[in-house]
Amino acid sequence: MKILKFGGTSVGSAQRMKDVAKLVLDGEVKIVVLSAMSGTTNSLVEISNYLYKKNADGANEVIGKLEAKYAAHVDELYSTAEYKEKGMELMRERFGYIRSFTNNVFTVFEEKEILSQGELISTGMFNLYLQEQGVESYLLPALEYMRIDKNNEPDTAYIRENLRALLDKNQGYEIYITQGYICRNSFGEVDNLQRGGSDYTASLIGAALLADEIQIWTDIDGMHNNDPRFVEDTKPVKELSFDEAAELAYFGAKILHPTCVLPAKVNNIPVRLLNTMDPQAAGTLISGHQCQDRIAAIAAKDNITALRIKSGRMLLAYGFMRKVFEIFESYKTPIDMITTSEVGVSVTIDNNRHLDDIVDDLKKYGTVEVDKDQVIICIAGDFDATKKGYASKIFNALHDVPIRMISYGGSSHNVSILVSAEDKIATLRALSANLFD
């Protein structure tokens, strides 16, 4: 069985939904994971922000505009009066639910209910469309099998058991459609897998069912060798290993959700990145195969804060690192990059929620400097320790860029450097020009 995930742009209009239907109808049984139509989750965030500020008028205005857009999509998508009415009924139900939050206390629980509506709407619309076309399709409710645990990690045993039970109970369909992104948490409340999380849904389903392949269909022909939003003439990379893809996704390649490679890697399921607008393009194949001796691609992760802890006592002081790490752990703040010297250590974090407390605690062990607005640039490829020349190639490219940190050797697949946000684009371009041209 294959799992096919279509992102927001891929289902962003009635015509795109029709194109997706053509792509998935090849007679093979499959699971189709859909995101919300593009722009919808952003609108739902906007509605929530108004409601947090108790501005029901602001929220109602956005809701009204969004509902009108969907009414037009419904009119265009279905051809029969019967299905146009079914589509409108779906909208009345979903938008009625969204409106029910505008007059009540608004907390993070209500916000998550609102954020879940985009995927509930897109999958409901697509399922109705297939039914209008006479296709045997079944809507698998993600809220009945997708779950995260107390640490916000996927509860893989629960997902496997419940998803398999649902499929066993509902056999005989050609297409199973399900919502990306949304899930329940350990308390049974509606929750989500973070922005961009539909990719993660697809790989978690792939892992739960030991699928033959996971396909991520999006608006570009695979993982490019640099961020196409900032660098011209980037090219798709034909093949990536799981490790290379994981590094790139984690360090900012938006085409993949940061953690979605792991479930595929653990179960050795190939992941293909494909282009809905150009289905014949080769795209990128992510698998256990590692191409030798090459730089594969570059990505950038924004909003990084660097902390330097300098301690006269670090020299020969065992236990110093542990104490530093324990402080980050106590605030549940992951560290991304780390570099050390005899007198100090620099680390980076991408979550400043507890920054002040962390800095206060670190001051017990030395002086602390904080640099905000930094960017991690990740260069992924095959950098086995026996290979020569990669470091010099990379740093030659960067002779004009001030560098705050360098990390090499953490894995054989990543060289990371930390630069100021203002130098990000120049750094990405200089690397592309020198490494790929």
In the bound state with ligand ASP, the residue whose beta carbon lies nearer, of 182 and 394, is: 182
In the bound state with Mg ion, the residue whose beta carbon lies nearer, of 195 and 238, is: 195
Residue from 11, 14, 21, 36 binding ligand ASP (CB under 6 A): 36
Does 348 engage in binding with ligand ASP (CB under 6 A)? no
In the bound state with ligand ASP, the residue whose beta carbon lies nearer, of 154 and 197, is: 197
Does 181 engage in binding with ligand ASP (CB under 6 A)? yes
CA distance 313 to 296: 41
Q: What is the 3-state secondary structure (H, E, C) of the chain?
A: CEEEEECCCCCCCHHHHHHHHHHHCCCCCEEEEECCCCCHHHHHHHHHHHHHCCCHHHHHHHHHHHHHHHHHHHHHHCCCHHHHHHHHHHHHHHHHHHHCCCCCCCCHHHHHHHHCHHHHHHHHHHHHHHHHCCCCEEEECHHHCCEECCCCCECHHHHHHHHHHHHHHCCCCCEEEEECCEEECCCCCEEECCCCCHHHHHHHHHHHHCCCEEEEEECCCCCECCCCCCCCCCCECCEEEHHHHHHHHHCCCCCCCCCCHHHHHHCCCCEEEEECCCCCCCCEEEECCCCCCCEEEEEEEEEEEEEEEECCCCCCCCCHHHHHHHHHHHCCCCEEEEEECCCEEEEEECCCCCHHHHHHHHHHHCEEEEEEEEEEEEEEECCCCCCCCHHHHHHHHCCCCCCCEEEECCCCCEEEEEEEHHHHHHHHHHHHHHHCC
Stretch that binds ligand ASP, among 162-170, 193-201, 297-305, 323-331 (CB under 6 A): 193-201
Which of the listed partners (ligand ADP, ligand ASP, Mg ion, none) does 10 bind, with a CB threshold of 5 to 8 Å by partner kind? ligand ADP
Does 35 engage in binding with ligand ASP (CB under 6 A)? yes
In the bound state with ligand ADP, the residue whose beta carbon lies nearer, of 300 and 362, is: 300
CB of 402 to ligand ASP, least distance (A): 33
Which of the listed partners (Mg ion, ligand ADP, ligand ASP, none) does 229 bind, with a CB threshold of 5 to 8 Å by partner kind? ligand ADP
Which of the listed partners (ligand ASP, ligand ADP, Mg ion, none) does 9 bind, with a CB threshold of 5 to 8 Å by partner kind? ligand ADP
In the bound state with ligand ADP, the residue whose beta carbon lies nearer, of 240 and 327, is: 240
Stretch that binds Mg ion, among 17-25, 62-70, 191-199, 271-279 (CB under 5 A): 191-199
Which of the listed partners (ligand ASP, ligand ADP, Mg ion, none) does 48 bind, with a CB threshold of 5 to 8 Å by partner kind? none
Does 196 engage in binding with Mg ion (CB under 5 A)? yes
In the bound state with Mg ion, the residue whose beta carbon lies nearer, of 196 and 258, is: 196
CA distance 16 to 37: 10
In the bound state with ligand ASP, the residue whose beta carbon lies nearer, of 118 and 124, is: 118
CB of 45 to ligand ASP, least distance (A): 9
Give the position of tokens 């010099």.
392
Which of the listed partners (Mg ion, ligand ASP, ligand ADP, none) does 181 bind, with a CB threshold of 5 to 8 Å by partner kind? ligand ASP
Residue from 11, 30, 33, 41 binding ligand ASP (CB under 6 A): 41
Does 8 engage in binding with ligand ASP (CB under 6 A)? yes
CB of 414 to ligand ASP, least distance (A): 24
Please give the residue ranges that form the binding site for ligand ADP (CB under 6 A): 7-10, 35, 196, 218-220, 223-224, 227-229, 253-255, 297, 299
CA distance 142 to 180: 8
Q: Strand 213-218 and strand 271-275: pairing?
A: parallel
Q: 115: buried, middle or exposed (CB in 10 Å: 19+, 13-18, 0-12)?
A: buried
Stretch that binds Mg ion, among 155-163, 174-182, 190-198, 352-360 (CB under 5 A): 190-198
In the bound state with ligand ADP, the residue whose beta carbon lies nearer, of 195 and 332, is: 195
In the bound state with ligand ASP, the residue whose beta carbon lies nearer, of 122 and 407, is: 122
Give the distance from CA 65 to its chain's centroid. Answer: 27
Does 198 engage in binding with ligand ASP (CB under 6 A)? yes
In the bound state with Mg ion, the residue whose beta carbon lies nearer, of 84 and 257, is: 257
Binding footprint of ligand ASP on the chain (CB under 6 A) = 7-8, 35-36, 41, 118, 180-181, 195-198
Binding footprint of Mg ion on the chain (CB under 5 A) = 7, 196
